[in-house]
């Protein structure tokens, strides 16, 4: 069972579980994540705050990695054709988590550059996704996408995942 914050104790995403979550669960995870993040944010002065912060940014990284390894290849679509919805939910989750550490990350010049790059790539990925629908209105079934369209999604995920993978060490300043 996923922990309440949607993150496993090792910081990876609990959504790696193969079972597709329901929209309600997802909203719940999301709300909980935001609440937890807020709490962590308040505890920034705490001695062990760095561990919590890395959980958040690792959570963002994990959500996107899950997209890159599972959702893009189409491997997860054996139970339904709605995996662009999962895809978009992961991107949203990663975006929320990123948003909460963005300010911290941007404290150094290097961090500010990284945060800006991550933001740009989130926007770009969201634009590509938006071609196929929205979480509210639903998405084109993934199996109707051409290989070229899948590659475009995959390219956009890689473009985001690469700078995002640097986020934890930048946030921690370690």
Partner 1 sequence: MTEPDATPTPDASFSRRGLLGLAAAGGIGAVAGLAAGAAIASAPDATGGTPASARYPFFGEHQAGITTPAQDRLHFAAFDLAPDATRDDLASLLADWTEAAARLTQGLEVGEAGAVGGSPYAPPDDTGEALGLPASGLTITFGFGPTLFGTADGVDRFRLAARRPAALEPLPRFSGDALVPERSGGDLCIQACADDPQVAVHAIRNLSRIAFGRAMLRWSQLGFGRTSSTSTSQTTPRNLFGFKDGTANIKAEEPDAVAEHVWVSREQGPEWLVGGSYLVARRIRMIIESWDRVQLAEQEALFGRTKGEGGPMSGGGEFAAIDLAATARDGSPVIARDAHVRLAHPETNGGIRLLRRGYNFVDGNDALGRLDAGLFFLSFQNDPEHFVTVQRSLASDGLNEYLKHVGSAVFAIPPGAHEGDSIGDTLLN
DSSP run (H or E) holding 2? none
DSSP run (H or E) holding 53? helix 49-66
Q: Does 126 bind partner 1 (CB under 8 A)?
A: no
Could you say which of 8, 13, 54, 85 contacts partner 1 (CB under 8 A)? Answer: 54
Q: What is the CA radius of gyration of the chain?
A: 16
Mapped onto helix, strand or coil, the DSSP state of residue 133 is strand
| Piece of the chain touching partner 1 by CB under 8 A; list 2-10, 92-100, 132-140, 164-172 | 164-172
Q: Does 160 bind partner 1 (CB under 8 A)?
A: yes
Nearer to partner 1, 85 or 105 (CB): 105
The DSSP bridge partners found for residue 7 are 13
Nearer to partner 1, 14 or 171 (CB): 171
Q: Does 168 bind partner 1 (CB under 8 A)?
A: yes
| CA neighbours closer than 13 Å in the CB half-sphere of residue 135 | 14
What residues from 83 to 122 belong to the interface with partner 1 (CB under 8 A)? 117, 121
Nearer to partner 1, 28 or 158 (CB): 158
Q: Report the nearest approach of partner 1 to the CB of residue 61 (Å).
A: 9
DSSP assigned state of 6: S
Q: Does 146 bind partner 1 (CB under 8 A)?
A: no
DSSP run (H or E) holding 82? none
Q: Which residues contact 56 (CB under 8 A, 6 or more apart)?
A: 37, 40, 97, 100, 101, 171
Q: Summarize as ranges the residues that interact with partner 1 (CB under 8 A).
A: 54, 117, 121, 124, 152, 155, 158-163, 165-166, 168-170, 172, 174
């Amino acid at each position: 069972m996923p922990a309440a914050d949607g993150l496993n104790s090792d910081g990876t995403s609990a959504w790696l579980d193969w079972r597709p979550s329901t929209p309600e669960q997802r909203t719940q995870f999301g709300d909980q994540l935001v609440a937890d993040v807020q709490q962590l944010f308040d505890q920034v002065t705490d001695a062990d705050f760095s561990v919590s912060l890395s959980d958040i940014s690792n959570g963002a990284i994990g959500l996107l990695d899950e997209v890159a390894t599972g959702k893009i290849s189409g491997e997860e679509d054996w139970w339904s054709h709605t995996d662009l919805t999962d895809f978009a939910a992961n991107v949203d989750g990663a975006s929320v988590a990123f948003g909460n550490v963005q300010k911290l990350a941007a404290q150094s010049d290097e961090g500010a550059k990284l945060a800006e790059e991550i933001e740009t790539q989130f926007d770009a990925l969201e634009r590509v996704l938006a071609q196929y629908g929205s979480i509210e209105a639903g998405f084109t079934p993934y199996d109707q996408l051409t290989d070229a369209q899948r590659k475009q999604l995959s390219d956009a995920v890689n473009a985001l995942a690469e700078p995002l993978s640097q986020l934890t060490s930048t946030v921690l300043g370690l």
